[in-house]
Amino acid sequence: MSFFKRMTRSKKKSAQSAKERLQLVLTHDRTDMTPAQLDALKDELIEVISRHIDIDPDAVNIDIAREGREQRLIADIPLKANARRRGR
């Protein structure tokens, strides 16, 4: 019985699925932005920044963060080590 219980527990509970799905859907509802539009925004941001400074596009992390009912666009853009020297 306990083995059976452990087996069923290993599957994610439906409340957790509901919460995770809602977190995503609410983020897009609130910003009125589809995931595809957010991707387009990321690509354009990377392109603009790359024109001025050397960055590693694969290391860039741009996402919408929630804090209460406030949402913010967070961009974490690591610069390449020699970026400043080469830029000037």
Partner 1 sequence: MSEIITITSGKGGVGKTTAIASLGIALASRGQKVVCVDGDIGLRNLDVIMGLENRIVYDIVDVVEGRCRLRQAMIRDKRLPGLFLIPAAQTRDKMAVSPSDMMRLGDELRHEVDWVLIDSPAGIERGFKNAIAPADRVLVLTNPEISAVRDADRVIGILEAEEKGTPSLILNRVNPGMVKRQEMLSPDDVLDLLAIDLIGVVPEDQSVLIAANRGAPIALDKESRAGQAFHNIAARLMGEDIPFMDLEEKGGLWSRISKFAGRN
Q: Which of residues 47-66 bind partner 1 (CB under 8 A)?
A: 66
**In this complex, which beta carbon is closest to partner 1, that of residue 29 or of residue 39?**
29
What burial class does residue 22 get, using C-beta atoms within 10 Å of its C-beta: 0-12 exposed, 13-18 middle, 19+ buried? Answer: exposed
**22 is a site residue for partner 1 (CB under 8 A):** yes
Asked if residue 15 binds partner 1 (CB under 8 A), the reply is yes
Interface with partner 1, residue 21, by CB under 8 A: yes
Query: What H or E segment, with its residue span, contains residue 78?
Result: none
The one among 26, 53, 65, 74 contacting partner 1 by CB under 8 A: 26
Span between the terminal Cα atoms of the chain, in Å: 69
Centroid of chain to Cα 29: 15
Choosing from 10, 16, 52, 82, the residue that interacts with partner 1 (CB under 8 A) is: 16
Q: How far apart are CA 28 and CA 30, in angstroms?
A: 5
Chain residues in the site for partner 1 (CB under 8 A): 13-16, 18-19, 21-23, 25-26, 29-30, 66, 68-69
